[in-house]
Chain A
């Protein structure tokens, strides 16, 4: 396991992890697992299960931790919970009534930690904030003109602009301005517009297929998003749009800005891919954690295999060679038998920044359908 691009691997659960999040100081890790959210505490680099947040009764789809340590989870049971950490290490759940009639798909805390947005299959984005006088999380809806499931959300650093993408093929920017919580100074001089009343559609970009993930890069006022056709796209306030294909053609599920000119993407190819912006636009930079033998094309790999079989057949007795032949025929879901494993053995579902300095991410964490959380060195 001497792989320079992999810093740590945590095999946590025997189920897919759709979403994960580290606390601000990286001492806590929350992952979704079936109907629960599991919270791990790191002591000397090993994760220890310290809490199971189990109020949901359907699959938990997303989790996020605010800068204050509050955990928010949302689920296909149409609810969200805010989990307030108590001094004894347990969590006090508060139900957030989202008022939606379909599954909640994604959740994101605003940078200030006082409100969060939930995307749903009910074609609604619910922006939720705490009301002191009622001791209640209030949910306000953004409905128009969303036409289908909202699959991903990202807050601008100013805490007002909210980018969303979904299955209707549109990337939309809404205003999530909450009176009394946000100040107009935060968006003064924004290149995206003048006025930002709650729920206003600030900008809309047609893309044409499912948008899997979206992320703001607030320092340069740009948005990166990945789509289900296997492309990375970057747009800005002047409607400039650049697009680049995934090198192996498989779709990306998630992206992470490394700095103003580099983006890390990951998805169905089980390993992250780095793109950089050069003078001529965005281009492929390198694969992280990609085994060398997987470089050859599918056809070559299969042909090599057959050659190998024949030479071995000659030297062994018939019965054993037949057994081996069938063993090798079973590729166990892989493209060819001699492809080395990537660290993530299945699709990567979410990339997050793990360590960064001066606006440059140096380590990224990723969770996947194989139940692992992997820390990559960039």
Chain B
């Protein structure tokens, strides 16, 4: 008995009523799911804004109403467009753009920064993401970070 790691004993093994929290349980109850068509029209809108040089409007659009209810593929596709938008902005402009975002947009921006740092596509642009992150935390403090950690609406 002494060798048994009692912390690992499954105390629910014989309890039929002990439904455990599944991934589905913590998913927010979305009323409707965003379709890939809606997302791709938003992506093309983003690209045209970015190519016209209006990076401020492009970033603001990118972090407004992210496709939280979309499936993994949709989210990834959108993420790549956001990353593209973020990397086109000049370093000197970042602080001004971040300052003009609403708190909700700042929260969404930080979600994309963390997502970027967790995937290879983003890690290749690590320096840019960190520059954005530094500016956001200077403007908004730790609030967007604690929102990112706790929010079950993922990007």
Residues of A within 8 A of B (CB): 101, 143, 147-148, 168-169, 206, 208-210, 227-230, 245-246, 248-251, 297-299
| Interface residue ranges, B against A (CB under 8 Å) | 11-12, 15, 17, 19, 21, 25-26, 28-29, 103, 138, 140-147, 149-153
A245 CA / B104 CA spacing, docked (Å)? 11
In the complex the two chains form, is B152's CB within 8 Å of A209's CB? yes
Cβ–Cβ < 8 Å partners of A299 in chain B: 138
Q: Flag if A147 contacts B151 (CB, 8 Å).
A: no
B141: which A residues are within 8 A, CB to CB?
A: 248-249, 297-298
Partner of A250, one of B21, B26, B142, B152: B142
Most central of B21, B29, B146, B149 by chain A CB within 10 Å: B146
> Would you call the interface of chain A mostly helix, strand, loop, or mixed?
loop
Describe B's contact surface by its main secondary structure. loop
Complexed CA–CA distance, A297 and B29 (Å): 37
> What chain B residues lie within 8 Å of A250 (beta carbons)?
142, 146
Q: Which residues of A contact B151 (CB under 8 A)?
A: 208-209, 229
In the bound assembly, the distance between CA atoms of A147 and B15 in angstroms comes to: 15
The reply to whether B142 and A249 contact each other, CB–CB distance below 8 Å, is: yes
Q: Across the interface, do A168 and B29 meet the contact criterion of CB distance under 8 Å? A: no
Note all chain A residues with C-beta closer than 8 A to B19: 147
Q: Give A168 to B22 CA distance when docked, in angstroms.
A: 11
Measured CB to CB, the closest approach of chain B to A269, in angstroms, equals 10
CB distance from A146 to the nearest CB of B (A): 11
Contact between B150 and A227 (Cβ–Cβ < 8 Å)? yes
Closest residue on chain B to residue A149 by CB atoms: B21
Contact B138 A147 (CB under 8 A): no
In the complex, residue of chain B having the shortest beta-carbon distance to the beta carbon of A297? B141
Do A245 and B143 have beta carbons less than 8 Å apart? yes
CB–CB B146/A169 < 8 A: no
A168 to B152, CA, bound (A): 10
Q: How long is the Cα–Cα vector from A229 to B111 in the complex, in angstroms? A: 14
Give bound CA distance, A169 to B152, whole Å: 9
Minimum C-beta distance from B136 to chain A (A)? 12
Interchain CA distance A169-B143 in the complex, whole Å: 19
What chain B residues lie within 8 Å of A209 (beta carbons)? 150-152
Q: Check if A147 sits within 8 Å of B150, measured CB to CB.
A: no
Question: Given known contacts A209-B152, A246-B143, what 4 new A-B pairs fall within 8 Å (CB)?
Answer: A229-B146, A230-B146, A251-B150, A299-B138
A297-B141, A299-B138 as given contacts; A168 in contact with B146, CB under 8 Å:
no
Closest 6 CB pairs of A and B: A249-B143, A209-B150, A229-B150, A249-B142, A208-B152, A249-B141
Query: With A and B bound together, what is the CA distance between A210 and B147 in angstroms?
Result: 11
With a CB–CB cut-off of 8 A, which chain B residues contact A230?
143, 146-147
Nearest-Cβ distance from residue A271 to partner chain B, whole angstroms: 16
| Residue contact B153 to A208, C-beta cutoff 8 Å | yes
A378 to B28, CA, bound (A): 37
The answer to whether B142 touches A101, judged by C-beta atoms less than 8 angstroms apart, is no
A299 and chain B: residue at smallest CB distance: B138
- A245-B17 Cα distance, complex, nearest whole Å: 38
CA distance A209 to B148 in the complex (A): 10
Closest Cβ of chain A: how far from B52's Cβ, in Å? 34
A249 to B143, CA, bound (A): 4
A251→B153 contact, CB < 8 A: no
List chain B residues, Cβ under 8 A from A298.
Answer: 141
Query: Quick one: which of B25, B143, B144, B149 contacts A147, CB cutoff 8 A?
Result: B25
Whole-angstrom distance between the Cβ of B126 and the nearest chain A Cβ? 22
CB atoms of B28 and A251 under 8 A apart: no
Which A-chain residue is minimally distant from B22 (CB atoms)?
Answer: A147
**Is A206 a contact of B21 with CB atoms below 8 Å?**
no
Which residues of chain A have C-beta atoms less than 8 A from B140's C-beta?
249
Check A168 against B147 for contact (C-beta < 8 Å). Answer: no
20 contacts between A and B (CB under 8 A): A101-B15, A143-B17, A148-B21, A169-B26, A206-B28, A206-B29, A208-B28, A209-B151, A210-B150, A227-B150, A229-B150, A229-B151, A246-B143, A248-B141, A248-B142, A249-B142, A249-B143, A249-B144, A250-B142, A251-B150
A87 CB, nearest partner CB in chain B, Å: 42
Known: A208-B153, A209-B151. A168 touches B103 (CB 8 A): no
Name the B residues within 8 Å of A208 (CB-CB): 28, 150-153
A291 to B133, CA, bound (A): 28
Give A99 Cβ to nearest chain B Cβ, in Å. 12
Cα–Cα, bound, A251→B151 (Å): 13
Closest residue of A by beta carbon distance from B141 = A249
Q: Which residues of A contact B145 (CB under 8 A)?
A: 249
Q: Which residues of A contact B21 (CB under 8 A)?
A: 147-148, 168
* Min C-beta distance of B12 to chain A, whole Å: 8
Look across to chain A and name the residue whose beta carbon is closest to the beta carbon of B148: A229
* B103, chain A: closest CB distance, angstroms: 7
